[in-house]
Structure 1
């Protein structure tokens, strides 16, 4: 058999292990504009980019949105094969295979109610304050993650966090800048909520696969296809669709 045909057969067999009778089960938490549900349809920058990649790889996918802690439990228990928009940290490498190419980059900042614009330039400014956080989320800055200066107040959803902020149940809310601005625009809170300019931490979002023989090599193929897609005009058009809405009014 010629070398080209041999390689083609091997590649088809590898893809067939993933794209067989059972679709790849991917979970994520709604986090607009990266992934969210709109009128019963899943949308979002990272969701749509991933969908393009899997289509090109010939891999059938089944998507489910759920709270973040349930996403991690589903992956751990084998009820899910991959998780969308997760941070790459060393502790996760034993259980998850990460592509080398990230889907998006994020910047965590603090949002405040305009009626209570707590100043924030350094960690000491958070002394005694109550900060709304998302359970299970990894905030890359260790000083913020481990500080005992302020109280962390979890909420079940990002919408709930902003609702608590405008009702004076928390003093500040931490979220990704683009996600926070998108959600504030959706909720019509532009006149009530502003954001601090200082970035608490920066990180990258990945689609991570559960480590098991059936999925071996898929992270690498996904990464290569994503890297190529990012060089195409179609990717630039996708990013433009999910740029920060009304960002100029929220500083």
Structure 2
């Protein structure tokens, strides 16, 4: 009888739903990939949440300025942060996931500005703008530091686009998807119709989830996340989400 009761108790316990693990992640504003007020907090956030969910992990987001987001994660105050470029400095401090989304920076210009380029040296003599704190790739950064490129660093991407429309600059590097989204959010159809971009990317990178090496369980969590991410990608949902994000974006009226 005792053995029967033990078996019944064990079966009841195993039938109870197991509470999902929870992971606290920082985030920032970079529409349409990331944003507190966006549907699903942005497409990159959605991918992170759904990849973790496939491994039984719930995500709790916190939105902060980017420097604060990275600092909290780096110190192990939060599990990690989404989404970031890979670098040797970050590899020393974080477990870095497989790619979540891809980012491509292109040189935006006015349609009436004749322009072509193959290497960064071709940009010499052009009036360039860049956003403060942004890294536009090793070759660009080195040329700027050496004085070979004159780059007017401004406080926001929107300011740079307005300078482009006002003919105060010739070129502005910007992630294409983010740039399209910004143009639709803050500029008129007539203004958008004046702009284009060169098809050659200035830089192309993957963006990743970072999990702090200061948090003991993160070594296991990064493996679980990568498994969920692979499964989500194989399902076709990531491609679907990215297509849905880009469908309404256009530089035309």
Q: Output the TM-score relative to the length of structure 2.
A: 0.76
Residue equivalent to 2:9: none
Q: Which runs of 4+ in 1 moved over 6 A?
A: none
The 3 A distance-change label for structure 1 pair 28 and 156 is farther
Query: SS at 1:61's partner residue?
Result: strand
Residue equivalent to 2:121: 124
Which whole-Å deviations, capped at 9, do the CAs of 1:64-93 have from their partners, x for residues lacking one?
A: 333333332332344432121211122211
Matches within 5 A, 1:199-218: 199-211=201-213, 212-218=215-221
Residue equivalent to 1:178: 177
Distance 1:105 1:98 in 2: 15
Cα distance, 1:244 vs. partner? Answer: 5.0
Distance 1:152 1:71 in 2: 27
| 1:192 corresponds to 2:194 | yes
Query: SS at 1:51's partner residue?
Result: helix
CA contact (8 A) 1:71 1:83 kept: yes
Residue equivalent to 1:87: 85
Gaps of 5+ in 1: 1-8
Distance 1:229 1:95 in 2: 27
Gaps of 5+ in 2: 1-13
Distance 2:115 2:243 in 1: 32
Residue equivalent to 2:11: none
| 1:44 corresponds to 2:42 | yes
Cα distance, 1:165 vs. partner? Answer: 3.0
The 3 A distance-change label for structure 1 pair 30 and 75 is same
**Equivalent pairs, count:** 231
| 1:70 corresponds to 2:74 | no
Distance 2:36 2:165 in 1: 24
Cα distance, 1:111 vs. partner? Answer: 0.9
Residue equivalent to 1:6: none
CA contact (8 A) 1:209 1:219 kept: yes
Q: Output the TM-score relative to the length of structure 1.
A: 0.77
The 3 A distance-change label for structure 1 pair 137 and 248 is closer
CA contact (8 A) 1:178 1:244 kept: no
